[in-house]
Structure 1
């Protein structure tokens, strides 16, 4: 009999985790496929060195343009600096990203000030952070004339400034994968890497070995033993096979740990379009794994897939106090609640459903076999509930906080750390990701809304939401959010420029795809293949629509669409 990839001891845990395989019911998976070969297809920026008798402002602008060319450790950019500054300047300290058409250079020698609209920042570890709306950046550059009477920059801050266009040309965004604490699910992180001769595969593995981003640090782990490194410093890709040779620290790892780190490597490198498989060696010798071939692919590690669960493909809708399943356009009554409902969601094995009453004051839970609803919690303005992998329910009560209903029925308020956001806004909605570790929230002061992502930190005695950070800077009002992939969030929202639209925002680089929606759109649902559905109230009609190639197709009547197995 074929052994479970992570050993028989974890078989039960894996089955309960709700992790699915690669979607097969759709040719398109939103947010996961990288459309370019980032190792080879890019527009290289060739910087121009300073010319004779350039004025101070031209020197500063020339330096900023040259920062888009990292070749030779920013050799051209350093020519705009004095000898001492060229030696001490550290471009690897981080990147501030600005809108290209907003930059201004003011002042006169010896001090010039560069100001621009800030789009975001890329840390020294390659993590992108979206800037707050209206954020500005300002840098001072001091200049002087050298012995040849040529202006050069004598004093500047470490790090570099890049326009959004420079980042698009010179960097690529990718997911990298870590693990939850029980090693039962991959947890998606992201990294932005420079496109250069070292190759994207090498950059991704180096980032993986560096560990997760700070906000995931308390809840995500890596299987790589401390000190693990690339034996030869690079990851060549030959005929579609990424060849990863690791240092001997791996030899001390047990079978479970080797399987876990293999899954991390394979899922991370498989995001590259030029990688079809991964071959892992330790100092030149193949990494031995039971029942796994020399060349590994994502099909070897489906048990801990980070993707949406493709078995969640049965549409359910709410009609007053009844829940119906809809299969092949045929509606079948499934459950009858004690009150009219507005939204519902199934747990990870579809054995239970949590629902919110139409007045937004009561959270109900039912076992789908018995059909008996019980009151789990009550509040003033409850959001649609969300489940984690362990069977706990979370719901926001606007103005009151976030409630957790544990699987044993205990209800408690959980702290939400918003210190990174610098706000006292209240949580309007909370949605746990497929991995059970990350969480998306909508924060609001009653007028302005913010979408942020953080981590769900749980112990035997407490639960907290930590590490919240903004993922989008234009949205001003949010009606509903849902995870559209491991690396993207969909929102029915408005940005102040018009009516509500569908925003699908990548967590890799903060970029957003916009789609129009029918008037009266109220709620989102995402099936296991990443296809987006919306609930629409049109006068007295309540309708469900499905997105197909950018347009919306009417499916059935009802509200609060959700999916089960």
Structure 2
């Protein structure tokens, strides 16, 4: 089962301090990665910005507008009070947001123009996608002002919002809206930043019905029939039951599509603690879904779990060139050629079912695959000059990178080799495919180190991957990424160097909002999986197991790997 979606924290003392003044907080940045999670449906600290002060100058009016913009109540009515009447009607805050560090803000007036500059660290798109900047970039925007009834008001500004990192922490929540992989058998999370509303169940359902973000859309589909909307603009939760009443377009879904639609809705709403079950109706009437009752438990549709692994999915570890599994406190060689020592192996990957292994030859020139059954041979499926650690996807395709030329290569389930396209200019040195098959992490060379990106996977017939599109940075605070592994459908374990903190593993949201550091560790590889401890391999041939923010010994070995 996937974890409850983590949400952004609220800094209570600082927020309360803001209630009595119209200044931008400058006590230090609140950056993603502070481990300040609260429940998705926990109400925010409400801060009611003061109205425009009589006699305020243009710079103060702009500052007041910035502060008031963080209050989403009544379609940001507090912010509109700082705008000239016609401008207040035309302003489009829903156009997205640019996020900046408050301590870098500079405001200067020249005549009827006020210019704002700051260091932008992220952006939130109109569709809710949060995208951190790899490095802070210059944010520069201009406000024009005029006098209205003897008071300065803003009469010209760009669409969208300008938020400090503190504003985002206080007034947004991170959540997943679930769509379907190309096969329609697995849900895939679209990680979004949503302004806090009185009914997060309504906000999440509306986002689901609108379709996936532009970033994820090439990799997923939806079972929502075109034109389907909420029959009434509300998803009430009464006695733990979320009532989702859809318009008649929902009748256009067939039996299997209704099941998939139900899975999307239930997986999306189960993130809310208050939701214990979901009832789907159409225009107030019955909506039959084969195989389930009218009231669907939050635990319905486990077969759509994007991170599902076998209960006995133990980690694989290589000892002296032999592949084995960590079982309890011991190590047992696997069945098949990989576990006999007849062919020395390194850097294994296990299929999602845990019954097939992929391994590299000692010289990294061959990628081999073999069933974990007695006498099963290892069969070469890819050759190259310097192959990177392999990664399975849920369709049985096996990914790697030939670091000799930077190509992403796949051994398809039918054995055919496939080259996967990535955007030009990327020097890819590693790849890790999410267990849902719709997203891939790319480890890329950047300067003298390595950075981490995540992109959407576009597939063709037979779910064979064709290209990875739209890669965006993950964990920009890690300046030299050395290895990475998917923890679950929304988090990854990143091994690298954090400036001022040394080498460590950080478990970070793929969206870039939240991070939990471990203690310092001298490691060269990392492994992770849902509901299992993070493992690392050390340079001196030991495997360590995460225990909170410390590490315990798991025994000798190298290259730990969980299924997937």
Same fold (TM over 0.5): yes
Instruction: Decide which of 135, 138, 141 is 2:140's aligned counterpart.
Output: 138
- Please say if residues 307 and 486 of structure 1, whose CA atoms lie closer than 8 Å, have aligned partners that are also in contact: yes
1:261 CA displacement: 0.3
Give secondary structure in 1 for the equivalent of 2:262: helix
Give the equivalent residue in structure 2 for 1:9: none
Is the contact between residue 485 and residue 493 of structure 2 (CA under 8 Å) also seen in structure 1?
yes
1:342 maps to 346
Change (3 A) 1:485 1:530: farther
Tell me which residue corresponds to 2:514: 511
CA shift digits 1:106-156 (9 cap, x unpaired): 2433222111111211112222111231212111111233342x2221211
Deviations 1:149-200 (CA, angstroms, capped at 9, x unpaired): x222121111110111111111111011100121111111122221133x11
Aligned to 1:558: 557
Note if 1:487 corresponds to 2:486: no
Taking the TM superposition and a 5 Å limit, the aligned residue runs for 1:63-74 are 63-74=65-76
Q: Which structure is higher in RCO with an 8 Å CA cutoff and minimum separation 6?
A: 1
Aligned length: 528
Q: What is aligned with 1:456?
A: 457
Match of 1:324 in 2: 324
Q: Name the CA distance, whole Å, in 1 between partners of 2:447 and 2:123.
A: 28
Q: Is 2:213 the partner of 1:213?
A: yes
Residues 246 and 328 of structure 1: is their aligned pair in 2 closer, same or farther, counting only changes over 3 Å? same
Alignment of 1:352-501 (within 5 A): 352-369=356-373, 370-398=375-403, 399-417=405-423, 424-445=425-446, 447-460=448-461, 463-501=466-504
Equivalent position of 1:13 in the other structure: none
State the shift of 1:265 in Å: 0.3
Specify the SS of the correspondent of 1:554.
strand
Q: How far, CA to CA, are the matches of 1:279 and 1:180 in structure 2?
A: 24
Q: TM-score, normalised by structure 1?
A: 0.89
Distance 1:442 1:110, change over 3 A: same
Distance change in 2, residues 1:57/1:410 (3 Å): same
- Is the 2:5–2:271 contact (alpha carbons within 8 Å) kept by the matching residues of 1? no
1-side partners of 2:228 and 2:222: how far apart? 11
Q: 1:53 to 1:528 in 2, by over 3 A?
A: closer
SS in structure 2 at match of 1:479 = strand
SS at match of 2:352: coil
Q: Deviations over 1:417-445 (max 9, x none)?
A: 25xxxxx1311110111111211111114
Q: Unpaired runs of 5+ in structure 2? A: 9-36
Provide the rounded CA distance (Å) in 2 between the counterparts of 1:74 and 1:152: 16
Closer/same/farther in 2, CA of residues 490 and 205 from structure 1, 3 Å limit: same
**What secondary structure is seen at the aligned counterpart in 2 of 1:218?**
helix
Would the aligned equivalents of 2:492 and 2:509 in 1 still touch at CA under 8 Å? yes
What do residues 321-366 of structure 1 show as CA deviations (whole Å, max 9, x unaligned)? 2112221223222213555433101112223211123333321222
**SS of residue paired to 1:132:** strand
Q: Secondary structure at the match of 2:478?
A: coil
Unpaired runs of at least 5, structure 1: 1-21, 24-28, 419-423
CA drift of 1:46 comes to: 0.6
- Cα distance in 1 for partners of 2:136, 2:7 equals 32
Residues in 2 aligned to 1:94 and 1:127: alpha-carbon distance in whole angstroms: 9
* 3-state SS of paired residue (1:547): strand
> Is contact 1:56-1:109 (8 Å) kept?
no
Take 1:109 and 1:473, find their aligned partners in 2: how far apart are those partners?
39
TM-score normalised according to structure 2 size: 0.89
Of 104, 107, 130 in structure 2, the residue corresponding to residue 105 of structure 1 is: 107
* DSSP 3-state at the match of 1:435: coil
- Correspondence 1:253-264 to 2 at 5 A: 253-264=253-264
Greater CA deviation, 135-144 or 441-450?
A: 441-450
Q: Distance in 2 between matches of 1:510 and 1:396?
A: 28
Distance in 2, Cα, partners of 1:389 & 1:360: 24
Q: How far, CA to CA, are the matches of 2:7 and 2:175 in structure 1? A: 10
CA distance, structure 1, for counterparts of residue 91 and residue 7 of structure 2: 37
Cα distance in 1 between the residues matched to 2:56 and 2:376: 79
Cα 1:63–1:446 change in 2 (3 A) is closer
CA distance in 2, matches of 1:402, 1:452: 14
CA distance in 2, matches of 1:267, 1:561: 31
Check whether the contact 1:338–1:373 (CA below 8 A) recurs between aligned residues: no
Between stretches 112-121 and 493-502, larger displacement belongs to: 493-502
State how 1:28-107 maps to structure 2 within 5 Å: 29=3, 36-107=38-109
| Aligned CA distance change for structure 1 residues 552 and 145 (closer, same or farther; 3 Å) | same
Deviation of the 1:512 alpha carbon: 2.1
Structure 1 SS opposite 2:400: strand
Partner of 1:190: 191
RMSD of aligned Cα (Å): 2.1
